[in-house]
Amino acid sequence: MNSKQSFSIILIIAIIIVVLYSCKDIGSELLLPLGLSASSTNVSVVKGASKQITLSGGKSPYSIKRPPNAATAAVSLASSILTISGIDTGSTNTIVADSNIPIADSLEIIISILETVPLVSFSNQIQPIFNSQCTGCHGGTGGLTITAGASYNNLVNVNAQSSCPSLKRVLPNDASNSVLYRKVSGTTCGQQMPQGGALSATDITLIRNWINQGANNN
Ligand code: HEC
């Protein structure tokens, strides 16, 4: 081998080393597609509170590619921790990304902001509504008695009679399929209750929340 040939061989080896080295970054990403992931991609946060999820995989540093609707939620990212704060009830989404080359991985995170509803007390909040608005007619005569002591057992999981007889008067956790809620909110099942009038929006919401919390006998 003359000196010219050995020089060419050394040059070829050098080129191969340089090419392999420069491909290492891309190559490792192509060969090991450990994509970007998150500890949760469907997050519920109570309005006014915040929750953190952890990003992993892909190639850090991570970034927020698209923020959520600012009226609903706010997000901030510190290293791999994404903090989601609830601004107002509703749902929105955010897109986070890693810094993969040539194309960054992105991940959509769906955010739901929920209202917290304090636990409704049947005896302290619901029965007083019946006492002042209902027992004049539902006090013992006729089909439905909702006086204190009798009301719970006459409502919860009891079939309705005159109105929507295929439904329960109160089906725990399902206000929209409970005759009591339908009648006080005026949606289907005959006449709105109290007959000839209507409860305040606050009382109607209390009855709905009480049923949707499981219609507790509390
Ligand atoms: C002025 C009398 C009157 C008042 C006050 C009244 N109701 Fe009624 N209620 C009736 C009559 C009459 C019926 C039967 C006809 C019907 O179902 O619409 C009835 C039916 C119902 C039913 C259906 C029962 C079933 O099994 O079909 C529910 C539930 C009910 N009332 C709840 C209430 C509640 C809760 C209040 C108070 C917020 C109230 N009512 C106030 C007269 C009244």
Cβ–ligand 1 distance for 183 under 6 Å, the answer yes
Tell me if 91 sits within 8 A of 111, measured CB to CB: yes
Model confidence pLDDT, tens digit, residues 92-146: 999 999 999 999 999 999 999 988 888 999 999 999 999 999 999 999 877 899 9
Nearest CA to ligand 1 atom 37: 134
Gap between the Cα atoms of 101 and 71, Å rounded: 33
Model confidence pLDDT, tens digit, residues 18-68: 444 444 444 444 544 579 999 999 998 988 999 999 999 999 999 999 999
Gap between the Cα atoms of 93 and 109, Å rounded: 6
What is the residue whose two structure tokens read 């953190």? Answer: 52
Cβ–ligand 1 distance for 200 under 6 Å, the answer no
Q: How far is the CA of 184 from the centre of ligand 1 (A)?
A: 9
Query: Quick check: 89 pLDDT over 60?
Result: yes
- Which of 66, 72, 94 has its CA nearest to residue 85? 72
Tell me if 79 sits within 8 A of 40, measured CB to CB: no
